[in-house]
Amino acid sequence: MTVPFQTPPSRQRTILPRRGALGFALLLGVSALSSAVAARESRPIAVRELHVVTSGGFTAAFHALAAKYERDTGVHVVAEHGPSMGDTPQAIPARLARHEDADVVILARGALDKLAEQGSVTPGIVTDLGLSKIAVAVKAGATVPDIATPDALRDTLIHAKSVAWSDSASGVYIQSIMLDRLGIADQVRAKGRMIPATPVGRIVASGQAEIGFQQLSELKPVKGIHIIGLVPESLQKVTPFSAGVVAYSPRQTEARALIAYLASPKAHSIIRDSGLEPASQKAKP
């Protein structure tokens, strides 16, 4: 009779302990990994990212300041953009109504105050950052019209073939107040356009409008235009651009730290370079 092959006892003793050791090692590895994960989850995690939505008036200054803030603190700043007001989906009030990921918003003070009243922005942390004035631009190479006085600006607008202004704070002022003060509202509104979301400078550079009005800080970064100068002082509207903490942000403390940085004296030179003047740094309750 044929005897089935059997592993010698000595061989069995050698194999079984190795399998047991391997299983024990795997068990130890899984246990150690589970302990490490649990320990990591039980520790507070430092915030390494903040989300900011800024309107056009403060965009140039913000990008320069955000890069400096990242270098100084190691916190990555994610920036989104949108008008202070208006009906476009990109408008900051619309973004907050959708509860988009946002910790800080920077926009025209009047619009920010409304958000604070509605409870979309945490009360007591509304801080003015920069003061903005309205400027006038034509396409690069075009004849430069006279805007030095209210009378000169009136004549320029009467003879212009097309005029553009933004759908944000400066444009609303021009369309609803300044043209009336000049006594040419009906004449200019008929050939004027309120531009939603897109920078007015781009409309002028492309030849879609002969003359354009927008915040100086929003016109400065646009290529292909010539900035004639500011609207005459007696017709000028100064708009504060201000920062607030989004009420539903889970990073309230970190958002306040960023706003304090943007409002500090170390930010003033960058704010001036962008075409704004640093604002007095007072939070409004």
Return d(Cα 248, Cα 100) in angstroms, integer.
Answer: 10
Instruction: With residue 260 as reference, give the H or E element that holds it.
Output: helix 252-263
Of the candidates 95, 272, 279, 102, the one whose C-alpha atom is nearest the C-alpha of residue 197 is 95
Return d(Cα 225, Cα 190) in angstroms, integer.
Answer: 24
| Helix (H) and strand (E) counts in the chain | 12, 12
Model pTM above 0.85: no
Domain boundaries, the chain: 49-131+239-284, 134-235
CATH tag, 134-235: 3.40.190.10
pLDDT confidence of residue 5 = 42
Cβ atoms within 10 Å of 198's Cβ, excluding its own: 16
Q: For the domain 49-131+239-284, what is the CATH superfamily, name and number?
A: Periplasmic binding protein-like II (3.40.190.10)
pLDDT band, very low/low/confident/very high, at 36 (cuts 50, 70, 90): very low
Cβ atoms within 10 Å of 250's Cβ, excluding its own: 9
* pLDDT tens, position by position, 157-176: 999 999 999 988 899 999 99
* pLDDT tens, position by position, 64-88: 999 999 999 999 999 999 989 888 8
Same fold for the domain at 49-131+239-284 and the one at 134-235? yes
CA angle 184, 136, 162 (to 5 degrees): 50
